[in-house]
Structure 1
Amino acid sequence: MDRINLRLLKELSVDARMSYSELSKRVHLSAPAVTERIKRMEEEGIITGYKPQINLAKLGIPIRALIECEVHRTKEKEFRAILLTYDEIIKIYNITGATTFIVEVGTKTLEDLDDVLEKMIDYCDTCTKLVMRMPYDNVLPQHIENFISLE
């Protein structure tokens, strides 16, 4: 990873639809050079996809919650499979510690959130946090250059 590739990643993390022409201007390289660098990062598995950022509230899903799930012994495999059937699931994190999973869900109402929690009751103990706002939401750590080796 060199500084130019890191700059490309930062630009793409803000706007994944930015044209190669615009990217080339921002990193001071030719468009073909930018294209080749991005293609190489895709082949190396550094860039794994391009996704839109979606405002769920504008779609009528204003409630976003993080649910810590402390799964009952012997129920983890079954619970993981059941989670994948819930329509409200946004993300599932399998983590270390007493909490086995953190599940991010989106619902229309608090009553819908309560219904999700009720479906989980036979598999785990939960602790739910409502997301009030996300002051920082990016795919990269804020100062990634402090964490990786640059060539």
Structure 2
Amino acid sequence: MDKINKQIIHILQKNARISMKELAEKVHMAAPSVIERVRKLEESGFIEGYSTTVSLKKMNREITAMVLFKSKDCHGLYKFCKEHPDVLECYRVAGEVSYIAKIATHSVEDLEKFIDASMAFGTPSTNLILSSSKKETIEYHEVNE
């Protein structure tokens, strides 16, 4: 991965809707060359896709939590989390807990229902998310825009 590809990824992480012309200007290259680089980054798996970030608040899902599980039924918990509409992310982890699920619910009552239902698969421990200070991106500190 060369410096220009790192710059392209960095810029796309900040704004995936940027035009190829504007992206080319930012990395000081011709648009066809940048289009080809982006295509190669996609094909090689460096860029896995593009997404839209939706406001949980606007979607009336203001209660967010990380629920840690000491699971006695990993396969059942995996299926439960995969199918539950409030689960945003779910990770199998090593350590004292076996799974961590990030959930977003409409109310404390919905959170309680989730916790109650999940107890069939192990022991949950819930941590409410008060705020977030960093979004998921890879930072390339040597990149200058």
TM-score computed with the length of structure 1 as normaliser: 0.89
CA distance in 1, matches of 2:84, 2:108: 16
Q: Give the 3-state SS of the residue equivalent to 2:104 in structure 1.
A: strand
Which residue does 2:96 correspond to in 1? Answer: 98
Percent identity, please: 26
Query: Does the 8 Å CA contact 1:13/1:138 hold for their aligned counterparts?
Result: no
How many residue pairs get matched? 142
Partner of 1:8: 8
Compared with structure 1, are the counterparts of its residues 76 and 138 closer, same or farther at alpha carbon in structure 2 (3 Å cutoff)?
closer
- Hey, what does 1:54 align to over in structure 2? 54
* C-alpha contact 1:14 1:138 (8 A) present in aligned 2: no
- Structure 1 gap segments, 5+ residues each: 146-151
Contact 2:6 2:140 in 1 (8 A): no
* Map of 2:130 onto structure 1: 132
Unaligned runs of 5+ in 2: none
* CA shift for structure 1 position 10: 0.5
Q: Helix, strand or coil: the match of 2:42?
A: helix
Following superposition, which runs of at least 4 residues in structure 1 exceed 2 angstroms of deviation?
142-145
SS at match of 2:23: helix
Q: Deviations over 1:100-151 (max 9, x none)?
A: 11101110111111110000111111111111111111322x3466xxxxxx
Partner SS state of residue 83, structure 2: coil
Query: What is the TM-score with the length of structure 2 in the denominator?
Result: 0.93
- The CA deviation at 1:58 is 1.1
After superposing the two structures, state which structure 1 stretch, 11-20 or 78-87, moved more: 78-87
C-alpha contact (below 8 Å) 1:4/1:27 kept by paired residues? yes
> In the aligned structure 1, how far is the partner of 2:133 from the partner of 2:46?
25
8 A Cα contact 2:89 2:101, kept in partner: yes
Distance in 1, Cα, partners of 2:141 & 2:116: 39
Please give the root-mean-square deviation of Cα atoms over the aligned residues, in Å.
Answer: 1.2
For 1:28, give the aligned amino acid. H
Per-residue deviation, 1:96 = 1.1
